[in-house]
Amino acid sequence: MAIRSIRLSRRRAPLRHVVLLVDTSRAYGRGLVHGVASYNRKHGRWRITFNPHGLQDPPPPWIYEARPDGILARIGNAQVARALVKIGVPTVDLRGVIAGTGFPSVGVDNREVARIAVEHFLERGFKQFAFCGLPQGVHPHMDDLSHQFVLRLAEAGYACDVFHGRQGPLPGEAWEIQQNRLGQWRDQQERLVRWVRQLPKPVAIMACHDDRALQVLDACRRARVLVPEEAAVLSTDNDEHLCELAVPPLSSIDENPVRIGYEAAALLDRMMNGEPVPAQRFVFPPLGVATRASTDLLAVNDPHVARALCLIREHAAEGIRPTHVLSQLPVSRATLAGRFKSIVGRTLGEEICRVRVRLAQELLSRTDLPIKQIAARAGFRSVEYFTRQFRRLTGLPPATYRRRFTV
């Protein structure tokens, strides 16, 4: 009887209809869809309607007749926002650019993105910084990222040169309008070249996203500024196709769109269950930097310290110790230890441990390996020591970190 009762209750459970409006031309949108699908497999009983939809596209005509129970949408324009408000069902905005909708939105934590970017550059010894964003007001979250990057640098005692530029052609505009704007776009590129040329070198440049970073790399080539020797370039989104298309390949921060899509689906489920959700922005931390050639440089003037950093990064997982590093350099222990601490801000042992923990973070978030194997692969001699050092540096035990940063 109990088994039959359970089966009947499952049969009666509602199959909800969810509409998904997401642009999947880039990796971020595809990651969101992956996260939504993962949630639906684990917790949802949804039938999902999904058709390709560009950010600047008008609302699809069929959406008024679809009668969905809920909507997940990257709202890219006011026309779509008005349509979704009119439909009047629980809706979560996967972009959060259009104000006044009354919808909760989800996205990446820009404060954490900026912190990771600053840390990435400081680890490489940079002392001069710049940020290349969009024209102010075009994308509020890109404006916020610029602000957060400048703020994190100020906290570390550094200034930052910021470039916004002018508005260029917008996706979806008529050809005639784009032609009128074309001169502005070319003017912006020339301005970008002049900006890159006048920056003090070596400089670490943060771009607001991968598309903008490609423009920065093009400006560097036209300005005859070497990347990464004179200008290291880092961006966000980590669209692997764009990053590998770049010359040199582009380092980028993985914003973890799979996690964001998963959490957006969970939020929508709560709303469809009648739970009141405030119309606020919910943010989630990025995974970290996918390092490629555009930042693969140590901007350290001391050749012995630079060599020590290279040895640590190449061999930290192999059990390297400070004595091994010292044996490879023609300098006394006291001299290297003093220079290293002064330039890097950490001792040799602290840097080895930090690099190992960073590797463990990547393995925890990207693999299903047992924690014992992760500790060994990261170069720790025991799980207990690994757990203690991991918690000291990240504030979380390894198992908690894995649950928080994976779907």
Tell me the pLDDT tens digit for each residue of 73-105. Answer: 999 999 999 999 999 999 999 998 888 899 999
**How many CB atoms within 10 Å of residue 328?**
13
The rounded distance, in Å, linking the Cα atoms of 203 and 397 is 35
Task: Check pLDDT > 90 for residue 139.
Answer: no
What does CATH list as the number for 2-108+258-287?
3.40.50.2300
Helix (H) or strand (E) holding 194: helix 175-198
For residue range 201-255, list pLDDT tens digits in order.
999 999 999 999 999 999 999 999 989 888 999 999 999 999 999 989 999 999 9
Q: Where are the domains of the chain?
A: 2-108+258-287, 110-255+289-295, 303-405
**Continuous segment of H or E residues that includes residue 340:** helix 333-344
> Could you tell me which CATH number the domain at 110-255+289-295 has?
3.40.50.2300
In the prediction, which pLDDT does 192 show? 93
Q: For position 51, what pLDDT does the model report?
A: 84
Asked: is 303-405 a CATH 3.40.50.300 domain? The reply is: no
Whether 179 shows a pLDDT value over 50: the answer reads no
pLDDT tens-digit profile of 368-381?
A: 899 999 999 999 99
Report, as an integer, the average pLDDT of 145-159: 97
Average pLDDT over residues 1-30: 72
**Exposure string (b/e) for 74-106, b if CB count within 10 Å is 16 or more?**
bbbbeebbebbeebebbbbbbbbbbeebebbbb
- Which residue intervals of 223-294 are DSSP H helices? 240-245, 257-272
pLDDT at 167: 52
The pLDDT of residue 284: 95
Note the pTM of the prediction, 2 decimals.
0.79
Place of tokens 């629980």: 90
User: Residue 166: pLDDT above 90?
Assistant: no
State the chain's mean pLDDT as an integer: 88
Same fold, 2-108+258-287 and 110-255+289-295: yes
CA dist list (Å): 67 to 17, 57, 88, 104, 256: 8, 20, 10, 20, 31
The position carrying tokens 């999902």 is 48
